[in-house]
Structure 1
Amino acid sequence: MNDDAGSDGPGSDGYRPATKLVEAGRRKEWTRGIVNPPVWRASTMLFDDCAHLKAASKNPNAGLYYGRRGAPTQWSLAEALTELEPGAAGTILYPSGTAAIAQTLLALLKPGDELLMVDSSYEPTRVFCATILKRMGIATQFYDPLADAGAIAALCTERTKLIFLESPGSLTFEVQDVPGIAAMARGRGIATVLDNTWATPLLFPAIAHVDVSILACTKYVVGHSDVMLGSATARPGPFERVRTTAQRLGNCVSPDDAFLAARGLRTMGVRLKQHEAGALAVARWLEARPEVARVIHPAIEGCPGHDLWKRDFLGASGLFAFELARADEAARARLIDSLSLFGIGFSWGGFESLALPIDPAPIRETRTWPTGALVRIHIGIEDPADLIADLDQAFARL
């Protein structure tokens, strides 16, 4: 069984999510008596005879065929991710989250189509639309992340074939009405794709609403800041197009990376709880600081889309932002440079805390963002009291 594993084999569909994280993808024929499916490193798969080769060629996704199509190490992870999304047909793995987004868009769009892209999307997603898709004759129209389904419907034309959502946005954290937008799109025959990296399927089961759910598995799935990986989990229909495109583009994922991601997946539930608790503790502390103008966290009252988060989400992760009271880039740099427990770097979702200066204003098209000193912060699994103390001494240096 290949990268669409999870739809027809022994699974954990009757279990709750925490149990699925432990049980999913651990077929006996893949584990062979040990706890974890081992690392299968292979480019060439051998066939018993020509008849075996001919039979395998009729359905190369049904089992071992060629290394690019994976082996039990990759299949195990794909099956586990699929089982976290009831109703999904399967999951494709990619060497990064950006690759998952790019190849999914290529699978579902063709020249002459129009894409509606949320204006709070991940910057590499925007760049892909402005370069590769534009050269292919696929138009991109950005829409306000706070727009409701009716406002987005008014933007749709006969050329609109896909609506891309990212909720919350990974810089400005607006929460979208994913169920409402997806229902509107389905009624018009328009595909929907959601970047669900912030929440993961544990906090927002996306396939209940959208056609394709994308994760930058580099973040919470891996959880240890040591693997680049992405995934696209899809409903029947879109899945076939996503899988075929990935195969024709030569997409493949290292078995070692898949193994590490599967190992990280087993503890994602308990890590997310720690991320959530620590982030809320730090966010509430920041709210009380006179140096902070506002905290931008979906779970905090008054933040854009908080009511939607409260309605639709099962919890929060560790990524949010805050704005300093003074628009002073030098002061922001002093603050971040003074931190000892927070690394300065891209990505997030690992066990360590991070702080990063962000400036969304130059890349936004539909909504004016203040040019104040914004800091994106990821709270790891350290003790939040230590993180607060570290922030306290850094504020003292302002």
Structure 2
Amino acid sequence: MSSDPWGRVDETGTVYVRTADGEQVVGSWQAGSPEEALAYFERKYEGLVVEIGLLEKRVKTTDLSAKDAQAAIDHIREQVDAHHAVGDLDALRVRLDKLVELVEARREERKAQRAKQSDEARHAKEALVAEAEELSQSDQWRAAGERLRALVDTWKGLPRLDRKSDDELWHRFSHARSAFSKRRKQHFAQLDAQREEARKTKERLVAEAEALSNSTDWGATAARYRELMAEWKAAGRAQREHEDDLWNRFRGAQDVFFAARSSVFAERDAEQAENLKLKEELAEEAEKLLPITDLKAARAAFRNVNERWEAIGHVPRDARPKVEGRMHAVERAIQEAEEAEWRRTNPEARARAEGLTGQLQAAVDKLRGQIEQARAQGNNARADKLQRELEGRQALLDQALKGLQEFGG
């Protein structure tokens, strides 16, 4: 009989292993010596030790699923429970029990992790839905459309929830995208209609602009072109493929007209600049008549200058007030000299002036007598009142006397 601390072989070749529950039959060995039998079943035990060690390592260091790990444990446990090995089988059972605890702990850990990931995925998808629903009302068509497409990609990268929750959130998400697409489609359909209307309006404006391009009614046509430009801006943009061509035709028609007008105006401006030079020379000649000493000669000379002035055409509008003002100043000086001469030589006016002066002088003398009488009677209030009246009449008398002097004495 042969034995070791964990097993023995009896005289019949039966191999036993020692356990906490007593000896258990491992098997029967007839092929060789008892030592060889123990060595064989000890190697079986070492195989189980290695297998358990490898499984422990896989459970601790890999993502082996709890289901697969438990299946592997059960498979090894069956071999241990079958007592087909010689060694400390109870120790192996303890290791397997601890491995079961570890697998269960990993199962709970992964369950909690999945719950956490699911919760995070739920919050993430709810946030995506909320943003999509907000974007569904946006009028920033390009930016909102690009953002919605990015949200779809983000959604695809998130874990699925339970079917009911995932379907409900996806329905809201999809509905928001559809609502935005519908609004965008309606917007661009309306925009296309507006642009088509703008194209028709601008076609009409171009036709009129081209018809006016050869007009020589400079003022009225320029004003009409300004109106056409205002209508053009108010019409809005046509389709991109039409807008540039219409604008080039519209602008080209205006350019033809304004180029012709500019050519005519350039000739006119040159002529008016020459006219201004001539009128400035005449204004200088007229100003030499001042101050007026010989009214008759000055009047004749100014008439001659004015006849030559009238024969000259227009001057530039901005220069007109100044040069005409110089001539008007000379003309007013002559008119004032004529009025002064008329006053000096008008016998009726002189007689009226003398009559008025005499009446005023009589009134002043009468008031002075009344004032003296009131003072003598002690009636100072009446005297003061008459004195104020006297001052008014005296002022009129002084003015009349001054006017009378203009008649020569």
Question: TM-score, normalization: structure 2?
Answer: 0.17
Greater share of residues in strand? 1
The alignment's TM-score, normalised by the length of structure 1, stands at: 0.18
Higher helix content, 1 or 2: 2
Rg (Cα) greater in structure: 2
Which one has more relative contact order, counting CA pairs under 8 Å at least 6 apart? 1
